[in-house]
Structure 1
């Protein structure tokens, strides 16, 4: 179970890192021209960059606290925050008629829920 949680956290951290880097450093107009990024055309550049920074923080929060052993409770807390972020992403993609991205966000949400459940419960770092 511990290995599965580490793998899930690693996968989700990579997803968060890629999404965070693209939203933070790629120009909004270029993001709006990509598949799944159409929603950025209606959002402010500051909002898109803020989401990118949140995703970068999530990538760090899913791995680093457990690796260094400092405040490892931040791992499941980050996973819960990711669940909330994915609910918002699913609503956004649904409003923009992108069901395949909504399903992808649902997969990310499920991974985050698994991490939160596992790290708050049976495989917590304090046990």
Structure 2
């Protein structure tokens, strides 16, 4: 029994590990891709998708940078095993950002735009919970 425990040490339990890696990868891809799109696309074109972008271009660029940092933060510390606990903090940061986005959209009467934010917040909460409680990644030796 002790051998089994030792051999599984540092590895995520089966399906949970696959789910966590999938959520981390999906969050990273979505956030980094979306953030880069917000930064490289002219504000006028982004405003076609997000009406507020034309009114608040500085907020658009700030959220783009936070998206990119959050996307890299939820994945890279776990992949490299360099300070993997930072992935948990990054995931919590993504939750806070998505909660802020939901409040922002609801306050502007854009409640229909909150669905995607809710999904991203739920994925980030799953990553934070899983990597903190159930399947933490051990730091590199």
Identify whether the pair has TM-score above 0.5, normalized to the shorter chain: yes
What runs of 5+ residues in structure 2 fail to find an aligned partner?
1-15
Instruction: Tell me how far 1:100 sits from its aligned partner.
Output: 3.0
Give 1:123's match in structure 2, choosing from 102, 121, 135: 135
**Alignment deviations for residues 90-121 of structure 1 (CA, whole Å, 9 cap, x no partner):** 11222333333212211111111011011111
Question: Is 1:38 matched up with 2:43?
Answer: no
Over alpha carbons, which structure has the higher Rg? 2
> What is the root-mean-square deviation of aligned Cα atoms in Å?
1.5
Please state if 1:79 is matched with 2:91. Answer: yes
- Structure 1: where are the runs of 5+ without partners? none
In 2, the alpha carbon distance for the partners of 1:14 and 1:100 equals 23
2:54 maps to 1:47: no
Counterpart CA distance in 2 for 1:6 and 1:100 is 29
**Structure 1 counterpart of 2:43:** 28
Distance in 1 between residues matched to 2:17 and 2:86, nearest whole Å: 16
Q: Deviations over 1:35-62 (max 9, x none)?
A: xx1121221x333112111111111111
